[in-house]
Amino acid sequence: MGKITVETCEIEGLKIITPTVFGDERGYFMETYNYNDFKEAGIDRAFVQDNQSSSKKGVLRGLHFQKEFAQDKLVRVVSGEVFDVAVDLREGSATYGKWHGVRLSAENKKQFFIPKNFAHGFLVLSDTAEFAYKCTDFYHPNDEGGLAWNDPDIGVEWPIEEGMELTISDKDTKWGGIKEYTKNKNQG
């Protein structure tokens, strides 16, 4: 292996990947994804869709998930910096409802692997950020689910700087909390 370093998190399944960067006076080169290296690291997935977004400082997206067509995601930042969060929604998981956050930036070049059945979101910390991610299933607009970004039962500690104005979509202001999600899921 050697081309990537993989850190595990306190929530099983989440992984932080740091690629090897080859640099000299001309700049740098790195592989952002190599199936063989990821497979050797225990991430044997077939990604079918790549997405990229651009957002300004204070934009908070999430916490999103697909209900029936769950996706594994491999996320990274192309420019700028974000605080990226995953919330465990796996039934029967010892860490159900727990979250983990990591700073992803163009500078640190870290990637975050988020398995299926996690909610996902991020907060832009730099003036602007370009965010890119791979998914193992296609996006299905009618299958969208979400959790309130500020649900006290989840308790994400977003690094919101003093004076930072948050920009949150109307849709993301209307999601319920994890108690409501769990109740509805168990009734369904």
Asked, as a colleague might, if the bond just before 14 is cis with ω within 30 of 0, I would say no
The Cα–Cα gap between 171 and 173 comes to 6
Q: Which of 111, 99, 106 is nearest to 65 (CA)?
A: 99
Q: Taking 50 as the threshold, does the pLDDT of residue 1 lie above it? A: no
Q: How far, in whole angstroms, is CA 100 from its chain's centroid?
A: 10
Q: Taking 70 as the threshold, does the pLDDT of residue 94 lie above it? A: yes
Q: How far is CA 143 from CA 106, 109, 139, in A?
A: 31, 31, 8
The Cα–Cα gap between 111 and 135 comes to 13
Q: Look at residue 186 in the predicted model and tell me its pLDDT.
A: 78
Please tell me whether residue 179 adopts helix, strand or coil conformation.
helix
Q: How far is CA 124 from CA 36, 53, 160, 182, in A?
A: 31, 11, 10, 28
Asked if residue 60 lies in contact with residue 167, where contact means CB atoms within 8 angstroms, the answer is yes
> What are the tens digits of pLDDT across the range 10-34?
999 999 999 999 999 999 999 999 9
Q: What is the rounded average pLDDT of the residues 161-171?
A: 96
The Cα–Cα gap between 57 and 165 comes to 8
Q: Which of 46, 68, 31 is nearest to 136 (CA)?
A: 46
Active site amino acids? 64, 133
Q: Taking 80 as the threshold, does the pLDDT of residue 78 lie above it? A: yes
> What are the tens digits of pLDDT across the range 125-148?
999 999 999 999 999 989 999 999
The structure's pTM equals 0.94
The Cα–Cα gap between 106 and 108 comes to 6
Domains of the chain in start order, with CATH, are: 4-187 (2.60.120.10)
Q: What is the rounded average pLDDT of the residues 75-100?
A: 97
